Amino acid sequence: MADTTAYIRVDQVGFAPGEAKTAYLMADRPLPFTVVDNRGRTMFRGTAGPDLGKWNDTYRHVYRLDLSRLRHPGTYRIKAGGQTSPTFTIAPPIALTEPAAKIMTFFGGQRDRWHKTDRAAYVYDWPTFTGPDTDQIKGDLTKIGGPVDVSGGWFDAGDYLKFTHILAYVDTLLWAAKRDGAIDPRLRGEAGHGLDFLDKMWDETSKTLYIQVGIGAGNEEGTFAGDHDIWRMPEEDDHSSEKYIRDRPVFRAAAPGQPISPNLAGRTAAAFALAAQVEPDRARARALLEKGASVYAMAKTENVGTLVTSLPHAFYPESVWRDDMELGGAELALAALRLGDRRAGEWLRASAHWAAEYLKHDAGGDTFNLYDVSALGHTDLVKAIRKTGAGRLPVTDRQLVADLKAQLDIGAARAGKDPFEAGAAYDQFDSVPHAFGLAATSRLYRSVSGDRSYDDFGTRQRGWALGANAWGVSFVSGVGANAITCPHYQMSNITGRPPTGAVVNGPNSASLFEGGLGGHMDRMNPCPASGLDRYAPFTGRGSRFVDDVRSWQASEPADDFAAVALYALTLMSRD
């Protein structure tokens, strides 16, 4: 008889022959286990251990399963306590390009092909919100300029808003993936699509950076609605009776010609500069470098105050910016070195300055994700320093490598206390992108240090995101036998089309669900159809995951989640 209190959790994609191979058993004792191939033949037997600790009051023990004896390519399952795991494969690292390709498909589906009114949109002053933690607007909007062409780009998440802050980060990672070995033939076109939108959002003539298209919510007076108020398909918007759904407002980072929030300047410059590093046409590459240089030169680096991200700021509450300036400078320097531009040394020194300032003011607080890009900045600055042999900089390559290691140690310390060896904090927002960020950092660190001691840790972080977690869920749609099925994603929910490649937030603080999930919006199809939360028994350690279309806290996909997952898989596919 099957032991219904035993569950096996494993990376549902699998492992390269030379990687560390770990699965987890939730059971009341260290049961024996068997690994079988796709024909049911026993490959080897073992006994679970050691006990990694308690998950919740039902699952008081989680045991590690060592699968390291598996090295022969094939498809396998694990059996223990009458339970059978999802399938996983042993395959060369290049096999990771398959889930990466699914994520590329997601980006194709996120393209904004529908909002024709964005071709002649009007610019508005920043709205006044009813409180610091709300997106509800007080009064009406005030038109201050336009029309401007802000068509194209990608929708940010499960909604239809577009943000420069997010898109610049995403496009940076897509170009980095292209440079660093991604083989998907669609990648250049997708990254170029993002860059075309950034080009529209940066007005070189007036030195204006536009930061957002659309508004999240309506106003407290109820005279207009916002994007989050209506569940619909994007092609309906141009004919909407709601004025700011039909004619979407555009907002700028600062007045024309005025300094720009440095996080925006740094990451936008990085996207242009990374494109310049891989553009085969040297004239085109030089033009891209000039655009990046122009944005970078507009950075406001004194009396910075609250960073500009989105309206409201609470949507994306970034507080660290020196990493963006380091990254932008490093990518400009690398592009300039490739093109023989004399300004390479100038940008190298700027990047090194901001890296030193980052180490002084910001290090030790976060790891690679939307809000901290220092892992990529450090890595590429090290490469630039070593290419030039530059000395007398305010930071050394050894210091930068040491901080990459320190970031991995943040995750490793957390993993050492966790039953599933997760390096991300899964009782907070963005656990899945943090896990993929740690996976990417393990390979970035190796690329500049030669040290492989964090490879196994990085592999486990990828595995956690792809099924080796308490819920046994792959947080990438269409990847793995038990992937998310009910994301908070309008186009998928309304049409019934699978959201292939969507990467969701994953588990979040259980406190965010205390008031329930609420009702279904008009036209929102219930998913799951039963309304049952089959993952409720696995709520633990202050965290909860709900695979439900209403569960924006856990199941909403976003471009930045997908981008860092794609980048991590790209780096790991080259192992």
Going by C-beta distance under 8 Å and a sequence separation of 6 or more, which residues neighbour residue 38? 74, 75, 76, 77, 87
**How far is C-alpha 215 from the chain's CA centre?**
22
Count CB-CB contacts under 10 A for residue 286. 16
Place of tokens 């406190």: 511
* pLDDT at position 184 over 60: yes
Burial track 264-278 (b if 16+ CB lie within 10 A, e otherwise): bbbbbbbbbbbbbbb
Distance CA 432, CA 566 (A): 12
Burial class (CB in 10 A: 0-12, 13-18, 19+), 4: exposed
- C-alpha distances out from residue 151 to 159, 207, 214, 489, Å: 16, 19, 12, 21
Question: pLDDT tens-digit profile of 254-309?
Answer: 999 999 999 999 999 999 999 999 999 999 999 999 999 999 999 999 999 999 99
Q: Which of 47, 33, 41 is nearest to 72 (CA)?
A: 41
Question: pLDDT tens-digit profile of 81-91?
Answer: 999 999 999 99
Distance CA 467, CA 477 (A): 12
Q: Which of 407, 381, 413 is nearest to 394 (CA)?
A: 381
- pTM, rounded to two decimals: 0.98
Question: pLDDT tens-digit profile of 197-229?
Answer: 999 999 999 999 999 999 999 999 999 999 999
Burial class (CB in 10 A: 0-12, 13-18, 19+), 389: exposed
pLDDT at 391: 82
Question: pLDDT tens-digit profile of 316-372?
Answer: 999 999 999 999 999 999 999 999 999 999 999 999 999 999 999 999 999 999 999
Taking phi over 0 as left and psi of -120 to 50 as alpha, with beta for the rest, 259 belongs to beta
Q: Which of 373, 440, 437 is nearest to 180 (CA)?
A: 440
